[in-house]
Structure 1
Amino acid sequence: MSLFDDYQQSGLSLANRIVMAPMTRARTDQPGNTPNAMMADYYRQRASAGLIVTEATQISPQGQGYSFTPGIHSDAQIAGWRHVTDAVHAEGGKIFLQLWHVGRMSHPIFHEDGLPVAPSALSPEASVWIADENGGSMRPCPIPRALETDEIPRIVDDYRQAALNAVEAGFDGVEIHAANGYLIDQFLRSTSNHRDDQYGGSRENRMRFLVAIMTAISEAIGASRTGIRLAPFITARGMNCPDIIPTILEVASHANQLGLAYLHLAEADWDDAPQVDDDFRHQLRARFDNAIIVAGKYDQPKAESLIARELVDLVAFGRPFIANPDYVARLQHGWPLAEFNSQTLFGGNEAGYVDYPSYSVSPSYHTE
């Protein structure tokens, strides 16, 4: 098996095993955080990926933590995303919407009462990107407000409704963002969850919020249209929980019982990050029967090795897709990769977003 083989399992029918990873680009129309024609072009250009997972998309106004990120809770947002899905499908692509609530990873500018929400009133010791008259800057997150117990089921319902909205917008499915220090991940970890009600304390209690979300979405749109992203080895933002690996494995068992389409692991992607050992991969494979996706600074040889050993099924690539809309073809033919402009990652216009060209094969000339 290779990256370029098709994948047919668990409701997924993909032309290849290359996934475009979710990447925040902050290009929505304002006001309203509405997807636009420029975004439709961006995703259309990259539709040769076996599967596209969109940038993280807030399920409600409360779920926002960064400027210009898209939502999926208004009629205008649903209509905007419909242009995106139509464009991708016209190219033969498949696309899932990543559902997002940032929790404490936010800023007072987005909240009427001035406070983000979280499992517990603990600072993430992090910053978020806020647009301003100078283009934008990173600003520190405040100490959040701890959610009341009776507020939590309402957020579960926001996830359910967001999934239904995504289907209305034409998405092939949704990915629950339960990684990277955002709200669901905050509930999962003992370092960020100090609750003493049914959502905190024991492993079962810390998982309760996520299990409710997985169940609600699976019942609403079908388990075969539902994936989940998890981050077992991420430790930043106060996420260094000593119980997270057993917790992730238990989540995988619940996801398997529900029949979710895939598990997507956001692995540590900095240069000296800990390596994911085979023992964990074998344990995860034993717990989850459907597709396993991994993301985290993979190159083609490492990706091909894991697929050949059947430890993973699909591999997600993020940064290379930014400057290489034809990334699949470049890998397949061994063509060189372009470098992206880091100054145009967040916010702005077409520059550094939809103006990266596909690779041009120069004709060769010879004389007899």
Structure 2
Amino acid sequence: MPEALANTNLFKPIKVGSVNLNNRLVHPPTTRIRNTDDLVATDSMLKYYEQRAECNDGGLLIAEATFPAPEFGIYDYAPMIKTDRQVEAWRKIVKAVHDKGAAMSLQLWNLGNTADAAQLKKHGLPLIAPSAWYFDEQSKKAAFEAGNPIKPLTIDGIHAMVKEYAAAAKRAVNIAKFDFVEIHAAHMYLLDEFLNECSNKRTDEYGGSIENRARFTLEVVDALIDAVGADHVAIRLSPYARFQGGQSVDAKINPIVVYGYVLSELERRAKEGNRLAYVSFVEPRVAGGENSPEAAKLNTAWVNEIWKGIIIRSGALLRDEDYTLLKKYVDGDDRTLIGASRYYTSNPDLLDRLRNGYPLTHYDRPSFYIPMSNAGYLTWAKYSERPLDENSEVAKAIPQPLA
């Protein structure tokens, strides 16, 4: 049987930004592709988050990565928070989560060169990136076949995106009532592409030195602080990800140097009165959606040495029934929260199972991304209850737009 964690810091309250949480278990951003074809959140999504809010005893749920606007990238059935309908749909979800006593954060996503070039072309949008660099030959081939090869983002384009990030943050916090907005600067999406030397070959003020490569990300941070206040702003980083071209410790410049600079700049802002609500850190043992056991021995204590605020650590921390690394992190200080995404998909009552040492229901990877379907999404059950089968009314129901 798994170890019960009731006596660990996981069940101690903590203040994040201006929000008091009752525990330190977090639902990290988890893409599920259950929006409508015009990227409006659905009643199924409301139910999914409500189920987890109901069982997480006043914790934090981070919504799936969401586009601020079409030029940030478009995936079929993924969420956006640009139009009035999209904002209103998210507002209903946040209200449902708040009504269950939980807090909610929205991750803002910018795909960069990982976007679908053909999909962008269909909408009259370019495939953008820091430089004309493709993370693999397949993505390069797809871009050229679509007649939409990478167009390096202009300085004016960068400035426009910074403004749109801020506008999206206002829509999320002021209208949809999210508690936080999380800047997605991980996993070799656009901001991370700017940070990394392998993908950023620019020679202007956004390329070359580490300070220049970090400029875009930090400008977004500052714009969001100005827009909604530092206590509503967060950021996600993945220094060791080998995903979509990320090179981890094989990079020309060690991740500690690059991301240490970013964290140092965030800590400097904190000391000047603008401490972000949290930094979300992806463990090196996770490469995108896959585990990377060979990276498990990397020492990431440097993150806590630089950043002195709240940190969320995520990435295969539930992989052993003794929860060894989870306990090390959450009990190692009084400012660490634990993110668990894959097991949160299949265990709506994950917090209760961890508290009592109940077995976890293994997630089902094939059902992660089934557009407009409740199967493998709303069919999971609490411990000792029976899951719904594929012929149930819930599984067969078609998700409907919330606005």
TM norm. shorter chain > 0.5: yes
User: Once the 2 structures are TM-superposed, how far is the Cα of residue 115 of structure 1 from its aligned partner?
Assistant: 3.5
Tell me whether 1:75 sits opposite 2:114 in the alignment. Answer: no
Question: In the TM superposition, what are the counterparts of 1:283-322 in structure 2 within 5 Å?
Answer: 283-299=302-318, 300-310=323-333, 313-322=336-345
In structure 2, the residue matched to 1:352 is 376
User: For the structure 1 residues 306 and 312, does the alpha-carbon distance in structure 2 shift closer, same or farther, using more than 3 Å as the test?
Assistant: farther
Q: Would you say 1:255 and 2:255 are equivalent positions?
A: no
Asked whether the equivalents of residues 123 and 141 of structure 1 are also in contact (C-alpha less than 8 Å), the reply is: no
Whether 2:71 is the aligned partner of 1:62: answer: yes
CA distance in 2 between partners of 1:77 and 1:99 (Å): 14
Q: Which contiguous aligned blocks of 4+ residues in structure 1 show a shift greater than 6 angstroms?
A: none
Q: Determine helix, strand or coil for the equivalent of 2:20.
A: strand
Where does residue 51 of structure 1 map in the other structure? 60
Relative contact order (alpha carbons < 8 A, sep ≥ 6): 1 or 2 greater? Answer: 2
Instruction: Tell whether 2:164 aligns with 1:145.
Output: no
Identify unmatched segments of 5+ residues in structure 1.
129-138, 363-368
1:235: Cα distance to partner? 2.5
CA separation of 1:126/1:75 partners in 2, compared to 1, >3 Å: closer, same or farther? Answer: farther
User: Secondary structure, in 3 states, of the residue corresponding to 2:304?
Assistant: helix
Equivalences for 1:79-158 in 2 at 5 Å? Answer: 79-107=88-116, 108-111=118-121, 112-113=123-124, 115-125=126-136, 140=142, 143-158=149-164
In the alignment, the residues of structure 2 paired with residue 310 and residue 239 of structure 1 have an alpha-carbon distance, to the nearest angstrom, of 30
CA 1:9–1:72: 2 relative to 1, 3 Å: closer
Q: How many angstroms apart in 2 are the aligned matches of 1:339 and 1:286?
A: 34
Unaligned runs of 5+ in 2: 1-7, 387-403
Q: Secondary structure at the match of 2:167?
A: helix
Matched, 1:7 2:45: no
CA–CA distance in structure 2, aligned partners of residues 339 and 175 of structure 1: 27
Alignment deviations for residues 104-147 of structure 1 (CA, whole Å, 9 cap, x no partner): 1111213444631000011122879xxxxxxxxxx955542111
Aligned AA for 1:81?
W
Which structure carries more helix by proportion?
2
| C-alpha distance in 2 between matches for 1:317 and 1:92 | 19
Q: Compute the TM-score of the two structures, normalised by the length of structure 2.
A: 0.82
Considering only aligned residues, what root-mean-square deviation do their CA atoms show, in Å?
A: 2.0
Report the residue type matching 1:110 in the other structure: L
Q: CA deviation at 1:354?
A: 1.1
Range 312-321 or range 201-210, more displaced: 312-321
TM (norm. structure 1) is: 0.90
Higher alpha-carbon deviation: 43-52 or 268-277: 268-277
> Residue 73 of structure 1: CA displacement?
1.0
Q: Is residue 274 from structure 1 mapped to residue 281 from structure 2 by the alignment?
A: no
Q: CA deviation at 1:37?
A: 1.2
SS at match of 1:174: strand
202-211 or 247-256: bigger deviation: 247-256
Residues paired across the two proteins, number: 349
